[in-house]
A and B are shown apart, each in its own frame.
Chain A
Amino acid sequence: MTRPATALTDAPATPPALWVALAISLAVVMALEAQMQQRPPLGLPAGTTGNLLYVRSPEFAKRAALSFDALAADIYWIRTVQHYGRTKLQPGELKRYDLLYPLLDLTTSLDPSFDLAYRFGAVFLAEPYPAGPGRIDLAIALLEKGLRAQPRNWQMAQDIGFVHYWWRHDYTAAADWFTRAGEMPGAPNWLKPLAAVTLAQGGNRASSRMLWTQIMQNADAAWLRDQGRFRLGQLDAMDEITLLERAIEAYRVRFGARPGSWDDLIRAGVLRAAPVDPTEHMLHLDPASGRVTLAPDSPLNPLPDPDDPA
């Protein structure tokens, strides 16, 4: 029997059994994957970290990236953000930010004009443990590297001053860097007054407020503006706590004992309502010591050391 010519050239129909086999295979793969997702991770021996960085030499990375160094820098930057965020959110006490600086070094070597990597990177590095590695020295080194790559970038010099101010409490160095930043082309006119205020009153809340207000108003990244808003919220809370503790002391002098709760202060006409911090979380009063603190769940925790108001 001869088959028509079209039947020879047409694609043969797929047997139904093949479709069934395909569907069953897919179902089995999905079921096994679901099982694998349920099982606990194998983990690593104590003291070891899963963080791996195959390329550590910026010179090698730059050559290996060929003409795609800017794209490679972006990939390392995304990896930096993921490493920092994942480590920060990790439960437990052993948080290791060991890849943070090598990743930032690679990112900024691959793309020396990547401003944000220097500026955010310095913030990440300087953040004290456990929110960050607390490596102020590396934060300054990174920013100085940025300034070497872009000697006229006043923001970078301002950031170095900021790290000296906020994290090192070295107000002389901070004022020096604010002055240098203020002398660079395109720098805003508030930098030189900031340098003067830092030198004269470094460490007080007024100068801190001025610094953070400028950062919040001038930062070109939403994340930095949010940081400014957060720090200003902390400063507001610290001012409020200072006023409340003074009121508690005045209450003690007047009534011979500290108030047992906010209600006592309300009844005495000192307060109209229980005080809340700028995030609307009620402040906590310790009747024994008269100290006022933030509610444990307040997002403004932890406040900077009240004896070192910067």
Chain B
Amino acid sequence: MRAVGHIAVNVFKESVRDKVLYNLVVFAVLLIAMSYLIGELTAGQDLKIIKDLGLAAISIFGLAIAVFIGIGLVWKEVEKRSIYTLLSKPIGRAEFVLGKYCGLVLTLLINVGVMTISFYAVVAYIDWVSTPLVRASWPAPAADPAMLKAIGLIMIELMIVTAIALFFSTFSSPFLSAVFTIGLWVVGQFGQDLREFGAVVNSSTAATMARGLSYVLPDFAAFDVKAQVVHGQAVPISYVALTSAYGVAYLALLLAGAVVVFSRRDFK
């Protein structure tokens, strides 16, 4: 496990060297600028738009990091031939894969954490400058702690995306890995459409296949409760718990797959 930790810390240090954390500055500037501009652009609903934008930005920035760093995690080591040096040390292939994964998750965790703090600071500022009458019209408080449920689910979704990117990175080129990862993320948004495919086609075989696929493909739509928390609608803890359990199980499956594929690779 110590090897996993060392590799993870190195991945994090590498992402810092690659200036990945610069996106935090972009995020902060985007939110602050929008909080000033939004009042000029729209009639009412400033807070809703800031919340929508903040949560969407956390998700988009996280996705970009998860996909574009995840796809190169293993491939880069193979391409630079540093994999030979690494595997010649007492590090198992499973430890290598898990270390890489944990390192990127650590980077994501710090990113999402800092973005969450900036986001809450901006909405708290909006709360502070708003009149009691305006506050009374909000469906939920500005700095509503319930938004953490949405952010938590975004984090788990990002962990799955990272695992998908890492899985493809173990046997494919970065370009193809990016295409497959983004493709799976997009398809994962249409779980319900796959389940209801039978209503739009006459073929029972196609409908059964689509339904079968809905069980296998990642159900990313389930992780999206952004609109609900922004509108102050209740998101039961049981929903968050079940979705999180599904997420953890799915990423365990992906990591196991990545370890299996990577263990069978011949680097001669």
- A residues within 8 Å of B by Cβ? 63, 66-71, 73-74, 77-78, 81-82, 111, 113-114, 116, 120, 220-223
Smallest CB separation, A124 vs chain B (Å)? 9
- How many Å lie between the Cα of A68 and that of B49 in the bound state? 12
- How many Å lie between the Cα of A120 and that of B137 in the bound state? 15
Give the chain B neighbours of A220 by CB distance below 8 A. 136-137
**A67, A111, A222 interface centre (most CB from chain B within 10 Å):** A67
Quick one: which of A69, A70, A73, A78 contacts B41, CB cutoff 8 A?
A: A78
Closest residue on chain A to residue B48 by CB atoms: A74
Question: With A63-B193, A221-B137 as given contacts, are A81 and B53 in contact (CB-CB < 8 Å)?
Answer: no
Give the chain B neighbours of A111 by CB distance below 8 A. 227
Give the chain A neighbours of B224 by CB distance below 8 A. 67
**B204 proximal to A (CB < 8 A):** no
Quick one: which of A67, A77, A116, A120 contacts B226, CB cutoff 8 A?
A: A67
Question: With A63-B193, A66-B186, A113-B231 as given contacts, are A71 and B44 in contact (CB-CB < 8 Å)?
Answer: no
Whether the pair B137, A71 counts as a contact (CB closer than 8 A) is: no
Give the chain A neighbours of B231 by CB distance below 8 A. 113
Closest residue on chain B to residue A222 by CB atoms: B44
Whether the pair B190, A63 counts as a contact (CB closer than 8 A) is: yes
Whether the pair B226, A70 counts as a contact (CB closer than 8 A) is: yes
1/0 per residue B47-59: CB within 8 Å of A? 0110011001001
Question: Could you list 15 A-B pairs, sorted by A, with CB under 8 Å?
Answer: A63-B193, A66-B186, A68-B56, A68-B59, A69-B227, A70-B227, A71-B52, A74-B53, A78-B49, A111-B227, A114-B45, A114-B48, A116-B43, A120-B44, A222-B44
Whether the pair B137, A70 counts as a contact (CB closer than 8 A) is: no
User: What's the tally of chain B residues with a CB closer than 8 Å to chain A?
Assistant: 28
- How many Å lie between the Cα of A114 and that of B139 in the bound state? 11
- How many Å lie between the Cα of A66 and that of B53 in the bound state? 15
**B189 proximal to A (CB < 8 A):** yes
- How many Å lie between the Cα of A81 and that of B189 in the bound state? 29
- How many Å lie between the Cα of A73 and that of B226 in the bound state? 13
Give the chain A neighbours of B221 by CB distance below 8 A. 67
Top 10 closest pairs, chain A to chain B, by CB: A220-B137, A67-B224, A70-B227, A71-B56, A221-B44, A113-B231, A74-B49, A70-B52, A66-B189, A71-B52
**B208 proximal to A (CB < 8 A):** no
Whether the pair A113, B227 counts as a contact (CB closer than 8 A) is: yes
In chain B between 167 and 190, which residues have their CB closer than 8 angstroms to a CB of chain A? 186, 189-190
- How many Å lie between the Cα of A179 and that of B226 in the bound state? 34
Interface SS of chain A: helix
In chain B between 5 and 58, which residues have their CB closer than 8 angstroms to a CB of chain A? 41-45, 48-49, 52-53, 56
Smallest CB separation, B146 vs chain A (Å)? 15
Quick one: which of A66, A68, A78, A222 contacts B42, CB cutoff 8 A?
A: A78
In chain B between 210 and 264, which residues have their CB closer than 8 angstroms to a CB of chain A? 220-221, 223-224, 226-227, 230-231, 233
Whether the pair A77, B42 counts as a contact (CB closer than 8 A) is: yes
Give the chain B neighbours of A116 by CB distance below 8 A. 43-45
Closest residue on chain B to residue A66 by CB atoms: B189
Smallest CB separation, B266 vs chain A (Å)? 38
- How many Å lie between the Cα of A69 and that of B53 in the bound state? 11
- How many Å lie between the Cα of A223 and that of B46 in the bound state? 13
Smallest CB separation, A154 vs chain B (Å)? 15
Give the chain A neighbours of B193 by CB distance below 8 A. 63
Question: With A67-B189, A67-B224, A71-B52 as given contacts, are A81 and B43 in contact (CB-CB < 8 Å)?
Answer: yes
Whether the pair B49, A223 counts as a contact (CB closer than 8 A) is: no
Closest residue on chain A to residue B189 by CB atoms: A66
Whether the pair B190, A81 counts as a contact (CB closer than 8 A) is: no
**A73, A74, A77 interface centre (most CB from chain B within 10 Å):** A74
Question: With A66-B189, A67-B220, A74-B53 as given contacts, are A113 and B233 in contact (CB-CB < 8 Å)?
Answer: yes
Give the chain B neighbours of A221 by CB distance below 8 A. 43-44, 137
Smallest CB separation, B37 vs chain A (Å)? 10
Smallest CB separation, B60 vs chain A (Å)? 8
Whether the pair A120, B43 counts as a contact (CB closer than 8 A) is: yes
Smallest CB separation, A147 vs chain B (Å)? 16
Whether the pair B43, A223 counts as a contact (CB closer than 8 A) is: yes
Smallest CB separation, B15 vs chain A (Å)? 24
Give the chain A neighbours of B223 by CB distance below 8 A. 67
- How many Å lie between the Cα of A68 and that of B58 in the bound state? 11
- How many Å lie between the Cα of A169 and that of B44 in the bound state? 28
- How many Å lie between the Cα of A74 and that of B46 in the bound state? 10
- How many Å lie between the Cα of A116 and that of B226 in the bound state? 18
Whether the pair A74, B44 counts as a contact (CB closer than 8 A) is: no
Whether the pair B42, A81 counts as a contact (CB closer than 8 A) is: yes
Whether the pair A82, B43 counts as a contact (CB closer than 8 A) is: no
Give the chain B neighbours of A67 by CB distance below 8 A. 59, 189, 220-221, 223-224, 226
Closest residue on chain B to residue A124 by CB atoms: B43
Give the chain B neighbours of A120 by CB distance below 8 A. 43-44
Give the chain B neighbours of A82 by CB distance below 8 A. 41
Give the chain A neighbours of B137 by CB distance below 8 A. 220-221
Smallest CB separation, A284 vs chain B (Å)? 32
Question: With A67-B189, A71-B52 as given contacts, are A81 and B227 in contact (CB-CB < 8 Å)?
Answer: no
Give the chain B neighbours of A77 by CB distance below 8 A. 42, 45, 49
Give the chain B neighbours of A74 by CB distance below 8 A. 42, 45, 48-49, 52-53
- How many Å lie between the Cα of A120 and that of B134 in the bound state? 16
